[in-house]
Chains A and B, each alone.
Chain A
């Protein structure tokens, strides 16, 4: 009984954490799908999002929902600006140049933030006090409810946007085959820009939610979750949106179990071990299809 209880509790924790990974992974996977770039700066976009949310709550005295919206919009714009300035000029450059640029952007965001907000971690104000519900001994606290609620809403909206709107359809077409999409009259520059915008905005929400969940943010907070979100995207099948969500959730649950039942120091190793296993046995991920190179 005790064990089942613990398992279920870790499951709740894992799903909360996994939802956050899923939000970041969505941006990763969308961006990779469309320009085949491992955007190493994506984790730092998430960090910027967290800080914008932090200042909206502490300085502007806003409540959580307006803070989330502000962070969503501002960070989304930041993502588009970064794409325009740093990646667009390299559209036809070798992949490694773009990758190195992404590393450069990542450093730039981290250390510029550090300069402006100082390297010391900031404490996120507690928004919920002790709000929590108990279901058969399993505690779901206010932060977790917020995370689950917000991510569910965002995913529904994203699914609608991608499948029902013209822009969303163009995004899917461009991600399938950029050149053909362009020939069909899709403005691929605009679509790439929008993809960065949406991806960054989702990451920003994840950043604010993490701030609320762990109460603490710092300029280097994006590095690890950024990488793990990429692992989640690979796990689900890179370029595939539901894959990113499933990958994120699996990763979150596995991490919660490893820290709950093994040791929290092995938490990060677990994520990478999953990565290696996926890459070795099904490099295209859970939802990916195998393709063969044409000779």
Chain B
């Protein structure tokens, strides 16, 4: 059995008496690309926010790499190796594309405050290194010629790609993508999905992907969890999910 990278056990989240996520049990093995799907409001983003420490679970346990991450702050969880993108793009909009990516290298940079303000020691060497790495990432996402532009001035699709590039700069083991294709046209979506498959191999990543549109994830995910009303109603390979009567009722039926 492959090693579990992320494991959630009996996680529930209650907002003012309302259960947003309940008895959430799932796991991701190292190297897997897992999809988390479900209709709008099913609790997918809440699940992400629980994993990344934005919300604290009301009950339950979340383990990453064999250690509990419950109670850690979001930045600590990122430093452990989980990076994410946001459904409603959260770029540093008044900063340049390059600066956006550089920020995500933050905790990998090895120089202190004195070295910064007096420009001594490792400052220049480290700055050169992260600039080089940042440009390399931008190149992968076809953003290298936009490096000097303000993030807010990028077209929508490019902003989505920049979010992923930025998340990768944090050098995660697990990458969480929250509806990365939202608002993209079919052509852009197809390219993005190919890109995701590619970076997964290139960086040896484990990926958890939230998607609203089910057909989209079928092509690239190995395993899929289906959420409805905060509960997992089905899981398995795309083929299993496609034929699961519960899923068809809840999800496809609900859509029609």
For window 59-116 of chain B, which residues contact chain A by CB distance below 8 Å? 86
**Chain A residues within CB distance 8 Å of chain B:** 292, 295
Main secondary structure of the interface of B (DSSP, over half): mixed
Interface status of B25 (Cβ within 8 A of chain A) = no
Q: In whole angstroms, how far apart are the Cα atoms of A295 and B49 in the complex?
A: 8
Could you say which residues of chain A place their CB within 8 Å of the CB of B159? none
Q: In whole angstroms, how far apart are the Cα atoms of A43 and B76 in the complex?
A: 45
Interface status of B54 (Cβ within 8 A of chain A) = yes
Could you say which residues of chain B place their CB within 8 Å of the CB of A292? 15
Interface status of B45 (Cβ within 8 A of chain A) = yes
Closest chain B CB from A223 CB (angstroms)? 34
- Find the A residue at minimum CB distance from B54: A295
Closest chain A CB from B26 CB (angstroms)? 20
- Find the B residue at minimum CB distance from A290: B16
Could you say which residues of chain A place their CB within 8 Å of the CB of B54? 295
Q: In whole angstroms, how far apart are the Cα atoms of A292 and B45 in the complex?
A: 15
Complex interface bits, B166-183 against A, C-beta within 8 A gives 1, otherwise 0: 000000000000000000
Could you say which residues of chain A place their CB within 8 Å of the CB of B15? 292
Could you say which residues of chain A place their CB within 8 Å of the CB of B45? 295
Q: In whole angstroms, how far apart are the Cα atoms of A51 and B54 in the complex?
A: 53
Could you say which residues of chain A place their CB within 8 Å of the CB of B49? 295
For window 14-71 of chain B, which residues contact chain A by CB distance below 8 Å? 15, 45, 49, 54
Closest chain A CB from B240 CB (angstroms)? 31
Q: Across chains A and B, which 5 residue pairs bring their CB atoms closest together, nearest first?
A: A295-B54, A295-B49, A295-B45, A295-B86, A292-B15
Q: In whole angstroms, how far apart are the Cα atoms of A77 and B10 in the complex?
A: 61
- Find the B residue at minimum CB distance from A293: B54
Closest chain A CB from B239 CB (angstroms)? 33
- Find the A residue at minimum CB distance from B86: A295
Could you say which residues of chain B place their CB within 8 Å of the CB of A295? 45, 49, 54, 86
Q: In whole angstroms, how far apart are the Cα atoms of A292 and B15 in the complex?
A: 10
